[in-house]
Amino acid sequence: MKLEGTTLDIYQVTDELGRGGMGAVYRAVQLSVDRPVAFKILSSEFAENEKFQKRFALEAKAMARMNHPNIVQLYDFGESGGIIWMAQEWVPGHTVEHVLESEGAMEPEEAAAMVAQACEGLGYAHGQGVVHRDVKPANMMQGKDGNIKVMDFGLAHASHWEEPSLQSDEGARFATTEYAGPEIWDMEREPDHRVDIFALGVLLFEALTG
């Protein structure tokens, strides 16, 4: 599905930024206020599956509850022409994954500052009852100003969700193996905020060693 050059609702899609397990992210412009946004869509192969629709909507609900400088902000959520989408804050910069791949190991002070900011964002999320469950360098943006923002809550669990079938959804446990705490794979219990702390420890080790 190619969306470049199309208009969905009040958003003009310009170019594709990347693809993940459930969808793709594009750069777009909110026409009403000429604001750049990151425009995330649910892939067509999942868009007709009710469970994936609900999970995408729950990601939007989780993000809508949060307002923190170290978490990417949700602007809008909707459906247009059979395409389910969310418009998020556009962060000029690169993923931490890109930074580590291109620059190698960080200096200790830089690595500590990065993880400290991620801790601020995730600590806030945990206070809102949201566990990310897929913390990794690809899910963090480093802005040109050096600010770190956690993004992609597609596998998150929130204690306030009223969908029991999704709270312990095995399909939501496809975390990235290298960063996943052992509790992720234990289907007898629900992973809590400690899996995010575990993943941050792995990320810090990677940042320090390359």
Q: How far apart are the first and last CA of the chain?
A: 36
pTM of this structure: 0.89
Summarize pLDDT for 23-50 with one digit per residue, the tens: 899 999 999 999 999 999 998 888 888 8
Cα 73 from chain centroid (whole Å): 10
Give the pLDDT score at 174: 62
Summarize pLDDT for 56-83 with one digit per residue, the tens: 998 999 899 899 999 999 999 999 988 9
DSSP character string of 85-148: EEEEE---EEEHHHHHHHH-SPPHHHHHHHHHHHHHHHHHHHHTTEE-S--SGGGEEEETTS-E
Provide φ and ψ at 158, rounded to 5°.
-125, 130
Going by the DSSP 8-state scheme, the letter that residue 78 receives in this structure is E
Is the per-residue pLDDT at 123 higher than 60? yes
Catalytic residue among 134, 145, 169, 186: 134
Summarize pLDDT for 141-191 with one digit per residue, the tens: 999 999 999 999 988 888 765 454 444 454 445 678 899 988 888 877 778
169 is a catalytic site residue:
no
In this predicted structure, which of 11-25, 88-102, 170-184 has the lowest mean pLDDT?
170-184
**What is the C-alpha separation between 68 and 49, in angstroms, rounded?**
31
Give the pLDDT score at 163: 54
Cα 3 from chain centroid (whole Å): 21
**What is the C-alpha separation between 120 and 148, in angstroms, rounded?**
10
Give the pLDDT score at 173: 54
CB 36 within 8 A of CB 47: no
For residue 183, the one-letter residue type is E
